[in-house]
Amino acid sequence: MDALRALDLSPEAENLYLELLQHPVEHPQPQYVDELVALGLVERSDDDGVLVRPPRLALDALAEQHAKRAALVRESAEVLTDLWRAASGKQDHLELLPTYDAVQSVIDSVQTDAQHHVRAMTMGTIMAPRKVQIVTGLFDALKRGVRYDVIYGAHVLQNAAALHMAQECIDAGEQARVFPRVPLNLTLVDHRWALVAARSQHTQAGPEFVAMVVHESALLGGLEGIFDALWRIAVPITNSTELNDVEAGPSLEIKRLLTYLSAGLTDESIAREFGVSERTIARRIGRLQEALGAQTRFQLGVQASRQGWL
């Protein structure tokens, strides 16, 4: 049961408790009984049996203990942050991550900490550029109802394995787009914090990588604005996107259509050039607008130019 997993019971202790709710169990394993006794869910009887206690009283008390611990942790965070800020002279909305392990730990925490919305863009795994891997817990977070919007750098998806993994995530509910030149890795968790990571191409110029957590601040708002701007001009990826679509860009026919549009030709004139109906041209333009996230034909021309399609 999902509800019992929050109690940190072993699967064996959980199964034992569910059995005890239905009927007495002869000679239960002592270590699993100990787990249940520690939570106040059962007690041992004088005849070496096990008695089930009313669960609400025990779990309400446990919830109160956790609430007090959580409050103490938050209080400790405030105190330690004040000490850290006084010692380092740095802003408390920034936390530098000194090692790859620290970065990976934060990445792993995203999926469990996110409540509503994760926005991310990736130039590849910070430890191994051009590599894509599905982060631990992503599918569980999607099932939990967390929305994922992800922008992939075009070079990241220029191999079949990486594109296949991206499509797995799309099939599970991720919204994905591709942008030619993603400059760094960015993960925005709700509107509360962000992980920023970049890898140097020339290690002589400075550290091999730089990574930090950005908490609620003007900087966090600026990072959200950067993501949203790139999201609007990135090209959507669907589960029917093929490797050639990522590598090759638009077909000659699409380039020709965009050229006619940018030249100001009407649908009637373009249809005549292609030898098709005006309705067919309108449908093609509509599909292009959807693919490039353009609301108007003017935006279509701007975004096609930004993609290097004109």
pLDDT digits (tens, 9 = 90+) for 245-264: 555 456 677 878 887 887 77
| DSSP character string of 27-39 | S--HHHHHHHHHT
Q: Please give the Cα distance from 155 to 124 (Å, whole number).
A: 9
CATH number of the structural domain 250-306 = 1.10.10
pLDDT > 60? residue 127 = no
Domain ranges of the chain: 2-53, 94-246, 250-306
pLDDT > 60? residue 130 = no
List, in order, residues 6 or more apart from 299 with CB less than 8 Å away: 289, 292
Count of CB atoms within 10 A of residue 74's CB? Answer: 10
Q: Please give the Cα distance from 287 to 273 (Å, whole number).
A: 19
Q: 250-306: same fold as 94-246?
A: no
The domain 94-246 belongs to what CATH superfamily?
Endonuclease Chain A (3.30.870.10)
What are the pLDDT digits (tens) for 71-119? 888 888 888 877 766 666 556 688 888 888 888 889 889 989 999 999 9
